[in-house]
Amino acid sequence: MSIVINTPNGNIGRPLVEKLLKAGRKVTVISRTPEKVADLVKLGAKVVQGSIDEQATLDAALPGAEALFWLAPPAARPDFVQWATATGRMAAERVKAHGVKRVVLISSIGAQTGPGTGPVAALKPIEEAFQAAAPNVVSLRAGFFMENLLRDVQGLTKTGALFSVNGETQAFPMVATADIAAKAFEYLTDTSWTGHRYVGVHGPKDVTYPEIASVLTQVLGQPVKYVRVGLEDVRNGMTGAGMPSWMADVYVEMYGAVLDGRMVAAEPRSKETTTPTTLAEFASTVLKPAVERARAS
């Protein structure tokens, strides 16, 4: 019996597949482009070629599966919320049809809010669809990714600033994607848990943007300041950088939900929800090299 991974090339899916294979588990990955997962096949993964929104692809991957790992890909089309919701619901139907007993779903803080949260709006109906289809489902409601700071590399190199809509005292959970993969690995390899669960994945502590700026000042060896901006400033910055207007609209809606207090963790911080990678560790190993490359280019 295998564990099926629907997104084997992302920041969460790829390290998860590698950890599972290293642990000796059978893994089936879904990929539209098998060449991109050729290295995983060499390590022992089976690949099913196709798109996750095609029933035939899911029907080829799920027979005999002991578990499914499901992550809705990043917003990449104007109808993303509708597409991601419909695709998740179809996957849930196929899970039920093939008798898959366990699902580990990557969700998000704010998923409990539902509509009006940008790309996060798709996650509540996906959670509900899998819960209706399988007896054992864990929704890993992750905090904001530390990797999102990579979007600020140009701003850090050119202006020494971080820009966001968050209030200066607004603290939020921030987590490294490697830690999300590790949490997914735990639930995919542990067969003792049962039922439907919501589990927060919150990083080591909640942080404010001024605190982030302080950490980056120390790690990058340069002054970093936080500059609070408005929603329209964010929209103009994204479209000015070449982002399609529909995509900017999706993320501006999410940032509006941040300001309204709807993008918050429903699960309290606990030993289970707290993960180890600190912001300083992430900045040293991932962000600093990216900034140094940008400076050199």
Domain range summary for the chain, segments of one domain joined by +: 2-144+174-201
Residue for token pair 């080591």: 204
Residue for token pair 């899970």: 95
**In Å, how far are 48, 105, 163, 245 from 81, measured between CA atoms?**
25, 16, 26, 15
d(CA 52, CA 62): 12
Q: What was the pLDDT predicted at 74? A: 84
Beta bridge partners, 106, equal 71, 140
Domain 2-144+174-201 has CATH 3.40.1030.10: no
Secondary structure of residue 228 in the 3-state scheme? strand
Q: What was the pLDDT predicted at 76? A: 84
Beta bridge partners, 196, equal 137
Pairing state between β 65-71 and 144-145? unpaired
Q: What was the pLDDT predicted at 297? A: 82
Which residue type does 227 have?
V
Local confidence pLDDT in tens for the 297 residues of the chain: 899 999 999 999 999 999 999 999 999 999 999 999 999 999 999 999 999 999 999 999 999 999 999 999 887 889 999 999 999 999 999 999 999 999 999 999 999 999 999 999 999 999 999 999 999 999 999 999 999 999 999 999 999 999 999 999 999 999 999 999 999 999 999 999 999 999 999 999 999 999 999 999 999 999 999 999 999 999 998 899 899 999 999 999 999 999 999 999 999 999 999 999 999 999 999 999 999 999 888
Q: What was the pLDDT predicted at 241? A: 84
CA nearest neighbour of 81 among 115, 58, 31 = 115
Q: DSSP letters of the chain?
A: -EEEES-TTSTTHHHHHHHHHHTT--EEEEES-GGGGHHHHHTT-EEEES-TT-HHHHHHH-TTEEEEEEEPPPP-STTHHHHHHHHHHHHHHHHHHHT--EEEEEEETTGGG-SSSGGGGGHHHHHHHHHHH-SEEEEEEE-EEGGGGGGGHHHHHHTSEEEESS-TT--EEEE-HHHHHHHHHHHHH-----SEEEEEE--SSEE-HHHHHHHHHHHHTS--EEEE--HHHHHHHHHHTT--HHHHHHHHHHHHHHHTT-SS-SSPP-TTT--S--HHHHIIIIIHHHHHHHHH-
Q: What was the pLDDT predicted at 292? A: 94
